[in-house]
Amino acid sequence: MKTRSIFGLIIVVSLVLGACATATPEPTQAPTEVPVVEPTELPAPTATPEPEPMDIVDIAVADGRFETLVAAVQAAGLVEALKGEGPLTVFAPTDDAFAALPEGTVEALLGDIPALTNILLYHVLDGKYMASDVVGMSQAMSLQGQYVAFSSEMDKVRIDNAHIVLTDIEASNGVIHVIDAVILPEGRDIVDIAIEDGRFTTLVTAVQAASLVDALKGEGPLTVFAPTDDAFNALPDGTIEALLNDIPALTNILLYHVVEGKVMAADVIGLSEVETLLGESIGITLEDGKVMIGEVQVIITDIEAANGVIHVIDAVLLPAS
């Protein structure tokens, strides 16, 4: 019995060993060959063209806060002037600034183009004045012909009654400063402007001495050919002092510089003479593109006042009498 069990065990072991010996090994998988990818050359980056610089009008249109201002500029026919070479400085009221005007004001101005033009030009300076320049200025002549006044208070800069709320928006032909109110030319008369200007101190002194202030501050309109301080200084030594002591003679000379009515430069060049308040006429000529009144050159024109206009001359006019 024991022999039979051993014999059976031997047979089982033999069968197991035989099965192991005849088992076919699994074939080994060959490694996958990774294809070599040639690098693709990327195209050269395309240069982004520089945007065209925008002028003052382009910027105002694109901004979106100046729709009323743009409409006013278009109505007044000032688009080309503000798109010109410049440089110009524009103090630009926002739509909110125009909306703050009394009801009906904007509509009235759009129906009165000369008045609208005056107001718009009062917001523009000839030349490019950055914020750093403006803070050092007390006044500047606007393209309208009157001075705008600058002041600083609590780190805020004002132009007339408006605050400058945003500065130095540079354009291809100048710069824009944003203001929070529409500034309006004041009713400054001929005497006020002469005093503010600073170039006519001798003339103002003479007008005061001759008691002509009220006449030149009157309703008018009047046209004044105003000699500068340099013009008075060019007179012979002692002349000014002598005139200040001879009021009738001084008055005659001053009245010889004043014409009744508002005679703009465009009118002057079409005249051969004008009659002065002294009662004597004075000739007007055009020489080599220069306007001469008598023997004196007109060097600055059309400084408008509430009661007339000032033209600046480079010498004192002396009546024949």
Domains 56-179 and 190-313 share a fold: yes
What percent of the chain has pLDDT above 90? 60
190-313, CATH topology level? FAS1 domain (2.30.180)
Residue 31 confidence (pLDDT): 60
Mean pLDDT score of the chain? 86
Q: What is the mean pLDDT of residues 156-177?
A: 93
Write down the residue that tokens 């340099």 correspond to.
230
Inform me whether the pLDDT recorded for 234 exceeds 60.
yes
Half-sphere exposure of 321 (CA within 13 A, CB side): 14
**Domain residue limits, the chain:** 56-179, 190-313
Residue 160 confidence (pLDDT): 87
Contact status, residue 207 vs residue 121, Cβ threshold 8 Å: no
Cα(274)–Cα(293) distance, rounded to whole angstroms?
9
Residue 30 confidence (pLDDT): 57
Inform me whether the pLDDT recorded for 1 exceeds 70.
no
Inform me whether the pLDDT recorded for 25 exceeds 80.
no
Contact status, residue 264 vs residue 308, Cβ threshold 8 Å: no
Report DSSP state, residue 211.
T
Half-sphere exposure of 146 (CA within 13 A, CB side): 26
Tens digits of residue pLDDT in 109-166 = 999 998 899 999 999 999 999 999 999 888 898 998 888 888 887 788 999 889 999 9
- The listed CATH number (3.60.10.10, 2.30.180.10, 1.10.630.10, 3.30.70.330) that belongs to domain 56-179: 2.30.180.10
Residue 142 confidence (pLDDT): 92
